[in-house]
Chains A and B, each alone.
Chain A
Amino acid sequence: QKEVEQDPGPLSVPEGAIVSLNCTYSNSAFQYFMWYRQYSRKGPELLMYTYSSGNKEDGRFTAQVDKSSKYISLFIRDSQPSDSATYLCAMSVQGGSEKLVFGKGTKLTVNP
């Protein structure tokens, strides 16, 4: 079992839809959770950063962590064509020099 699993999609939705992107993980020591957005032919950019369980909201984006289920989600409300990108989850343990573990990414297309 891979440490981080992410459905590659592709996911296609109409403009204005609510999008749910998800990752599951196996390492219960993960404490820090991130979502990156990567536009085509660009580098990944950090979108959301959360610590431990709970929700974090930033505009149309909400990151949710459920440590009991080892499951994290990114919700996008009122999706826009400009949200079309690949979304990667990433996570790491507390302290030490443990590096980020990335999911392989989910490709999202928002159709006008």
Chain B
Amino acid sequence: NAGVTQTPKFQVLKTGQSMTLQCAQDMNHNSMYWYRQDPGMGLRLIYYSASEGTTDKGEVPNGYNVSRLNKREFSLRLESAAPSQTSVYFCASSYRAGGPYNEQFFGPGTRLTVL
């Protein structure tokens, strides 16, 4: 039981390049989330998927797109990376989006640097 896995662990991009961050969970959870974490800013929600087939914007969606590929996988795409997107990205999942059983379980993170 791996929990939430993320690939890659590290990535360096040049401004304007694109990339996709991958996330998968094996806990049969319905809801999945993408966060970014920056010093002094805490965790900020980028996008989430309350259930398979749905996605919604979070607090900071600009510059990102997501795809809920199936119940297990939720990807985050940067179409044209900017230095402001340098951050640590975390994927999380929960049984459901609202309480109860909404506690989220996090992946190990992807450290992204945009030059």
Contacts and interface: CB of A to CB of B under 8 A. Distances in A.
Given A42-B108, A44-B90, A99 B45 contact: yes
A100 interface: yes
B104 A100 contact: yes
Chain A interface residue number, banded: 20 to 34
A43 B107 contact: yes
A51 B43 CA distance: 22
Contact of B42 (A31, A51, A102): A102
Most chain B Cβ neighbours within 10 Å, of A44, A45, A51, A90: A44
B99 A43 contact: no
B43 A102 contact: yes
A104 B50 contact: no
Interface in A1-59: 8, 31-32, 34, 36, 41-46, 49, 51
Contacts of A41: 109
Interface residues of B, number: 23
Interface in B77-99: 90, 97-99
B108 to A, nearest CB: 5
Contacts of B53: none
A103 B105 CA distance: 16
A31 B99 contact: yes
A35 to B, nearest CB: 10
Given A92-B99, A98-B98, A99-B48, A43 B42 contact: no
A88 B98 contact: no
A104 B35 CA distance: 13
A100 to B, nearest CB: 6
B74 interface: no
Contact of A104 (B41, B98, B107, B108): B41
Contact of B109 (A42, A97, A99): A42
Ranked nearest first, the 9 interchain pairs of A and B with the lowest CB-CB distance are A104-B42, A43-B106, A32-B99, A97-B97, A96-B98, A97-B98, A102-B43, A44-B106, A92-B99
